[in-house]
Homo-oligomer: A and B are copies of this chain.
Amino acid sequence: MKKLYLKDVAKELNVSKTAVSLVLNGKGDENKISQETQQKIISFVKEHNYIPNQLARGLSRGKSETIGLIIPNISDTFYSKVAGVIERKAKEKGYTVLFSSSYEDPKTEGELIQSMLNRQVDGLIIASTQKNKKEIEFLKKEKFPFVLFDRFYPEHDTDYVIVDNFYGTKKVTEHLLGLGRKHIGFVTLKPGLEPIAQRLQGYHNALQGHNIVANHDYVKEIKREEYFSEVEEALKDLVLCKQPVDAIVFSTHYLASQGLRVLKKLKVKVPDDVAIVSFDELSAFDIVEPPVTAVVQPVKEIGCSAIEILLSKIAGEVQTKFQTKVLKTKLEIRGSCGNK
């Protein structure tokens, strides 16, 4: 069984390449090809397992039925979950997904965008490093279909899907305040990412609402690449000082789990000595000790919305304005905050 090409199929069946191609692309009826011929072609193709070369098809039609997904890190549980739903939805619509991780490096991200464009992807879904204004501007100018998620460019109008980060931390901080915690620390990443900034604002806003003056020393900004050791330093500062905190909000799941790891090592009792909460979820958060209260992101909705918006753009639907979605988070209360 040698490899079949379009011309082989046509020859076998004594029809033209045109006919075969038309039928396979579902244009048989509109070109008035007899049902009989259509059937003949379809069953032959199925039986002999002919499948068109997508490179040729893509080149000829100017599209590839592929979408590109650029994320900070495919190994991170949040992104791998979103990737899963995007892939699933994409496949339903006949698209395959090309993915690549930027590892938070703007240069890599820029190269990936270019590389995806060369590969003629039909659209792009990006959780950006937020440091590639140029590429984003370029995509906009070219009217190339793309949608941002998780991170977006506040100064640029684009389609995006994000989560209400502000309200997420605000709510969880208020939850801590409601339980009588007064000295609330905030362990987060160094500035640069919009969601991170919003999470910090939500925290501040909650404190203000309770007339608490934010203690600047209570906010610890961690360098992501060295979060393992820096979280440890930060927690020592927060906990082993003369005015220790009695609660800590971690702005990502990995900061939270490392935080808990360190607190255990320091023999700090959670939640008795300090309550902790995490922005974003880890599947094991309900079985760690204590179970960690978390702000849960609607992973499925994020992925679905992103792909839907993208596909509508690819389909060339008329856009009166940019499609943006800000999804609600959910507060999952577990044991790490104790009771009142």
Contact = CB atoms under 8 A, between A and B. Distances in A.
A46 to B, nearest CB: 12
A210 interface: no
Contacts of A81: 75
Contact of A101 (B87, B101, B288): B87
Given A51-B118, A87-B101, A114-B51, A77 B74 contact: no
Contacts of A101: 84, 87-88
A292 to B, nearest CB: 9
A97 interface: yes
Interface in A50-100: 51-56, 58-59, 64, 66, 73-77, 80-81, 83-84, 87-88, 91, 96-100
A283 interface: yes
Given A58-B55, A286-B261, A83 B75 contact: yes
Contact of A53 (B54, B100, B120): B120
Interface in A142-179: none
A318 interface: no
Contacts of A284: 257, 282-285, 288
Interface string A99-122: 111000000000000110111100
Contact of A261 (B97, B120, B287): B287
Given A98-B96, A118-B52, A264-B287, A75 B64 contact: no
A260 interface: yes
A233 interface: no
A8 to B, nearest CB: 16
Q: Which of A75, A83, A285 has the most CB of B within 10 A?
A: A75
A29 interface: no
A289 interface: yes
A3 to B, nearest CB: 8
Contacts of A289: 287-290
A268 to B, nearest CB: 13
Nearest to A94: B115
B119 A96 contact: yes
Nearest to A88: B101
15 contacts: A52-B118, A53-B120, A55-B120, A74-B83, A74-B84, A75-B81, A77-B77, A80-B83, A96-B115, A257-B284, A261-B286, A264-B287, A282-B284, A284-B288, A288-B288
Given A54-B118, A75-B80, A257-B287, 9 more contacts: A51-B117, A54-B120, A55-B55, A55-B58, A66-B119, A80-B80, A96-B98, A97-B99, A282-B284
10 A-B pairs with the lowest CB-CB distances in the bound complex, closest first? A289-B289, A75-B84, A80-B80, A284-B284, A55-B59, A54-B119, A51-B118, A288-B288, A54-B118, A55-B58
